[in-house]
Amino acid sequence: MPCLRLRMSIARITAGLGVSWNTVNDAVLATGHQLLIADPTRFCRVDSAEH
């Protein structure tokens, strides 16, 4: 995920790709869902959610 490492803004990513903000946002949300929300093991290493 090079965009995250470079901390590029959505506006800069859209300009570089030649697409709209909505297109990039949809891709980010879909990837986030695939990598985080849809992963049933995402909390396997969490012992407690308390502070």
Q: 47 Cβ partners below 8 Å, 6+ apart?
A: none
**Tally of structural domains, the chain:** 1
What are the start-end ranges of the E strands in the chain? none
Residue 40 DSSP label: T
20 part of a folded domain = yes
Q: For residues 20 and 13, which has the higher predicted lDDT (pLDDT)? A: 20
pLDDT of residue 49: 66
Contact predicate 10/25, CB 8 Å: yes
Q: Which domain does 18 fall in, by range? A: 2-37
Residue 19 has pLDDT above 90, yes or no: yes
pLDDT of residue 5: 57
| Prediction pTM value | 0.53
44 part of a folded domain = no
